[in-house]
Amino acid sequence: MICQCANPRCGREFRYLHEGHIFVLEPELPFTWHEGQTSIDHYEVRRYWLCDDCARRMTLRRQSDGSVRLMPRPVGDTLRVKAA
């Protein structure tokens, strides 16, 4: 459950889906779920939220070690916002 902005220097409280930007990131490695003789590789999806102010300047990227890193938004990478 998302509670606050993923930027630790911000901490703005998550309230509405239409504010900011939600990132849906899967872990690099799955965990295996065993049920009887069946094994299923399962990817646990994680959701992160950046508030409007942080999402304009930053983005989140999955790193090769599986961690999530807050990074500056690349030049020319504009945030796509849905029209109301």
Give the binding site for Zn ion (CB under 5 A). 5, 7, 10, 12, 51, 54
The distance of closest approach from Cβ of residue 27 to Zn ion in the complex, given in angstroms and rounded to an integer, is 23
Percent helix, percent strand, percent coil in the chain, to nearest 5: 5, 40, 55
Q: Is 71 exposed, middle or buried (0-12, 13-18, 19+ CB in 10 A)?
A: exposed
The distance of closest approach from Cβ of residue 39 to Zn ion in the complex, given in angstroms and rounded to an integer, is 40
The distance of closest approach from Cβ of residue 77 to Zn ion in the complex, given in angstroms and rounded to an integer, is 17
User: Which tokens in the block code for residue 80?
Assistant: 């796509």
Round to whole Å and give the CA distance between 25 and 83: 24
Question: In terms of CB distance, is 27 or 58 closer to Zn ion?
Answer: 58
